[in-house]
Amino acid sequence: MRSRATTPQGTTTPRATTAARAWATARRADGPQGKGRAGGRPPGRARLTGVLLILLSLASAAACCLVFAWWLPSDGERYQDYRAADSCSSGALSRGDTDCLSTWHLTVEKTVNKTAGKESVHDATLTYQDSWRGTVHLNGSGPLLERLEPGDRVTATAWRGEIMVLGQGGVRQDTLEAPRDELQMNAAVGVLAGLLAAQCLVFGAVRLVRPLDHEPLTWEPYGRWLLFTVIGVSFGVGLPAVWTGVPWWTVPLVAVPLAMCAALWFRFRLRLRRYG
């Protein structure tokens, strides 16, 4: 993890792969042909899978609560505080007040601007006189980082002890520390955690109650369809919400009904496949 760059002063959610592993375990417990039958195996294995799914459900539910009760409000409050911050007065600087916006004139020592596979590095190493040296991580190559050269002078805007913006000649670029109004993606993560919790709870409870016959709540194909659908719906709604700037609460308002409709549609398809 990269360290945060401070001003020159002498400031969980369940991963889809985890859910996939649990569903893979469920798939193996469903029998040799994914029909929901025990396939000659003892019911204890199906019950154990049910317990694991319920535990995963509890973890997902806790993550969902954490997103909506803490992460989303915290990010929203931080963004509003940043937007409302005024420039620091000389008295505020002498007192060490960091809730205001301070300005620093820094020198570029070097830049790293590359994209290699899945990892992108967009850094600028800056110095202040002979007393401070630090690296800031920017949110992309442009519009400023790509034009910076060693020895260039830049203006840094800092807030709460962290550099938020770099500027030069009227061109400005945010660092990764700058608060953003992207609460829609926070909500998308919370929705995903909540939907995974519901799915794992239902599939796990069925295995405890009916360990020898839990069709159609098996991994193949119903569980697989639902898992990838809730992931696609959550981010398929969250990303356009960020791009269009609609309020964050529209994400659960749209994504949850869509996921429920998809679950009913998949169930209908299975019935048609069986009896059609």
Written in H, E and C, the secondary structure of 149-211 is CCCCEEEEEEECCEEEEEEECCEEEEECCCCCCCHHHHHHHHHHHHHHHHHHHHHHHHHHHCC
Percentage with pLDDT > 90 across the chain: 45
Rounded mean pLDDT of 123-144?
87
Per the prediction, the chain carries an average pLDDT of 82
Rounded mean pLDDT of 156-160?
92
Q: What pLDDT, on the 0 to 100 scale, is given for residue 214? A: 63
Report d(CA 167, CA 169) in Å as an integer. 7
Backbone φ, ψ for residue 266 (5° rounding): -65, -40
Q: What pLDDT, on the 0 to 100 scale, is given for residue 29? A: 53
Q: What are the residues whose beta carbons fall under 8 Å from the beta carbon of 143, sequence distance 6 or more?
A: 171, 173
Per-residue model confidence as pLDDT tens digits over 89-98: 877 777 777 8
Residue of higher predicted confidence among 78 and 89: 78
Residue of higher predicted confidence among 193 and 113: 193
Residue of higher predicted confidence among 226 and 14: 226
Q: What pLDDT, on the 0 to 100 scale, is given for residue 36? A: 42
224 pLDDT band, cuts 50/70/90, is confident
Rounded mean pLDDT of 10-24?
53
Q: What pLDDT, on the 0 to 100 scale, is given for residue 173? A: 93
Q: Say yes or no to pLDDT of 133 above 70.
A: yes
Q: Say yes or no to pLDDT of 118 above 70.
A: no
Rounded mean pLDDT of 218-222?
77
Q: Which residue has the tokens 């375990």?
A: 25
Rounded mean pLDDT of 5-33?
53
Per-residue model confidence as pLDDT tens digits over 22-57: 555 555 555 444 444 444 456 778 788 889 999 999
> Hey, which of 83-92, 150-159, 200-209 has the most confident mean pLDDT?
150-159
Backbone φ, ψ for residue 112 (5° rounding): -130, 120
Q: Say yes or no to pLDDT of 82 above 70.
A: yes
Q: Say yes or no to pLDDT of 251 above 80.
A: yes
262 pLDDT band, cuts 50/70/90, is confident
Report d(CA 152, CA 143) in Å as an integer. 15
Centroid of chain to Cα 246:
18
Backbone φ, ψ for residue 248 (5° rounding): -65, -30
Q: Cα separations (Å) of 72 from 84, 169, 194, 196?
A: 18, 35, 15, 19
